[in-house]
A and B are shown apart, each in its own frame.
Chain A
Amino acid sequence: MGSVDALGRLEQLRAGAAERSPDVRTLARFASTAQCRVANLGFAARVDFDKLLLGTRFAAPFGQSPFAFRRGLVFEERLRADGHQSLFAALGEALGQNVVSPRPVNLRERIAGGKRGMAARATATEEVVADVLSGRRGAPNLLDGAVLTREVCGVPAYFEADAVLARVGEPLHAGEIKSFPTVDGQADADKLGAAVAQVAIYVLLLRELAARLGRDADAISNEALIITAKNTGLQPAVIRKPVAREVQRAARLLAAVPNAPELAASLSSRTPTFGSVSDPSAPAEARIERAETLLERVGTHYQPECLAACGLSRLCRQRAHRSGSPDRMGASFTRLVPGVPSLDRLGELAAGAPPKASEASVAEQVALAAHHLDELVPVPALVRNRRRVRQ
Chain B
Amino acid sequence: MNYLDVVLAARARAAGRAVRSASVRHRHIAARPLAMVFWQLGAEPFTAAAVAWGHRPDRRSMAVPGEPRDRTLAFRALSRVAEEFNPWFEYGAAGEGDLPQVVLPNAGNLAMLGRLGRRLAYLPTTGEHAASDELVRFGRHLQFLHEHARYPGQQLVLVLTDLLRTHWATELSHLETQSLPALDAAIEPPAKKSGHEAAFAAERVEIGPAPGHDDDTVLSGLLDTFNAVRAKSTDESLVAPLRGPIEAHFSARIDRAWPLVWRCLDRERQLLEGASVAERWKTDEAALGRHFSWAIASGRPLATKDSSRAAAWKLHSWEAAVAELEMNEAVDDPMRMIPALMSGRAVRGKVIAVDLENRVQGATRRIRRPLVTLETDQPLTLPSDVELYWSGAAKTAAYQIQEVLPSKKKGCTRLVLEHQTQSNVPRPASGSMATFSVYGRSPRPPLMLPDHDPWTHTAPASSAKSDDIETEGENP
Contact = CB atoms under 8 A, between A and B. Distances in A.
A265 to B, nearest CB: 35
Q: Which of B23, B47, B470 has the most CB of A within 10 A?
A: B23
Contacts of A235: 471
Contact of B14 (A232, A337, A347, A383): A347
B457 interface: no
Contacts of A378: 23
B220 A336 contact: no
A111 interface: no
Interface residues of B, number: 69
B136 to A, nearest CB: 16
A372 interface: yes
Q: Which of A65, A231, A381 has the most CB of B within 10 A?
A: A65
Interface stretch (B31-39, B255-263, B416-424): B255-263
Contacts of A231: 46, 469-471
Nearest to B4: A369
A391 B188 CA distance: 14
Interface stretch (B210-218, B238-246, B367-375, B446-454): B210-218
Contacts of B22: 380
A71 B220 CA distance: 13
B188 A383 contact: yes
B271 A346 contact: no
Contacts of B406: none
A213 interface: no
A151 interface: no
Interface string B339-355: 00110000010000000
Contacts of B115: 183
Contact of A183 (B6, B118, B216): B118
A328 B177 CA distance: 13
A184 interface: yes
Given A61-B204, A67-B41, A328-B173, A343 B10 contact: yes
A72 B43 CA distance: 9
Contacts of A391: 181, 202, 205, 256, 260
A315 to B, nearest CB: 11
Interface in B3-52: 3-11, 13-14, 20, 22-23, 41-47
Interface size range on A against B? 35 or more
Contacts of B469: 183, 231-232
A172 B41 CA distance: 36
A100 interface: no
Contacts of B236: none
B5 to A, nearest CB: 8
A138 interface: no
A380 B271 contact: yes
Interface in B102-129: 115, 118-119
B320 interface: no
A308 B3 CA distance: 27
Q: Which of A232, A318, A335, A337 has the most CB of B within 10 A?
A: A232
A346 B7 contact: yes
Contact of A373 (B212, B338, B470): B338
Interface string A63-86: 111111001100000000000000
B304 interface: yes
A324 interface: yes
A321 B196 contact: yes
A377 B471 contact: no
A308 B10 CA distance: 25
Interface of B: 1-11, 13-14, 20, 22-23, 41-47, 115, 118-119, 171, 173-176, 181, 188, 190, 196, 200, 202, 204-205, 211-217, 219-220, 256, 259-260, 263, 267, 270-271, 304-305, 334-335, 337-338, 341-342, 348, 469-472, 474
Interface of A: 61, 63-68, 71-72, 179-181, 183-184, 188, 230-235, 304-305, 307-308, 314, 318, 321, 324, 328-330, 332-333, 335-337, 343-344, 346-347, 350, 365-366, 368-370, 372-373, 376-378, 380-381, 383-384, 386, 388-389, 391
